[in-house]
């Protein structure tokens, strides 16, 4: 699996947690530093971030991708829309949570199944996938 990291760097411990939760081996991590100009529209900036992953249209649709979204909520929601457009589905995402103590540290909390969430919501609405 390939991780697209739009957040803080992942440690070996994070990668081990992700592998344990997914049952898959992390083949590579693509680090995409996310710094947005809050005075400019986010849409074009997020599209540029996604371009920096360097994946082809075919790779977006076929590679096993896992996403660590940026912490900034507005950037994260636009990122999910951009990725859905390129991939044809919502990718699974890593949720990071703070760990008590000093200095600040973070752990992998869970893998969010966005596509599964969408499909369940459609069922609750009474519509097929």
**What integer pLDDT is reported at residue 129 of this predicted model?**
57
Handedness of CA 24, 30, 35, 38 (dihedral sign): negative
As a whole number of angstroms, the distance between CA 67 and CA 33 comes to 13
**What integer pLDDT is reported at residue 128 of this predicted model?**
67
Enumerate residue ranges in the chain where pLDDT < 70. 128-129
Instruction: Return phi, psi of residue 122, to 5°.
Output: -65, -35
Cα distance between the two ends of the chain:
25
**What integer pLDDT is reported at residue 93 of this predicted model?**
98
- Are the C-beta atoms of 3 and 28 separated by less than 8 Å? yes
**What integer pLDDT is reported at residue 127 of this predicted model?**
77
pTM for the model stands at 0.92
C-alpha dihedral (31, 28, 66, 15), degrees to nearest 10: -90
CA distances from 106 to 9, 33, 53, 75 (A): 11, 18, 24, 20
């Amino acid at each position: 699996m390939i991780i697209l990291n739009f957040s803080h760097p992942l440690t070996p411990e994070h990668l081990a947690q992700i592998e344990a939760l997914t049952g898959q081996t992390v083949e590579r991590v693509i680090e995409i530093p996310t710094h947005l100009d809050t005075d400019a529209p986010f849409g074009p900036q997020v599209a540029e971030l996604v371009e920096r992953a360097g994946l082809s249209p075919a790779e977006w649709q076929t590679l096993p991708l896992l996403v660590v979204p940026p912490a900034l909520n507005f950037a994260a929601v636009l990122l999910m829309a951009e990725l859905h457009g390129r991939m044809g589905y919502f990718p699974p995402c890593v949720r990071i949570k703070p760990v008590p103590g000093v200095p600040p540290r973070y752990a992998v909390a869970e893998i969010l199944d966005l596509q599964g969430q969408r499909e369940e919501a459609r069922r609750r609405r009474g519509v097929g996938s």
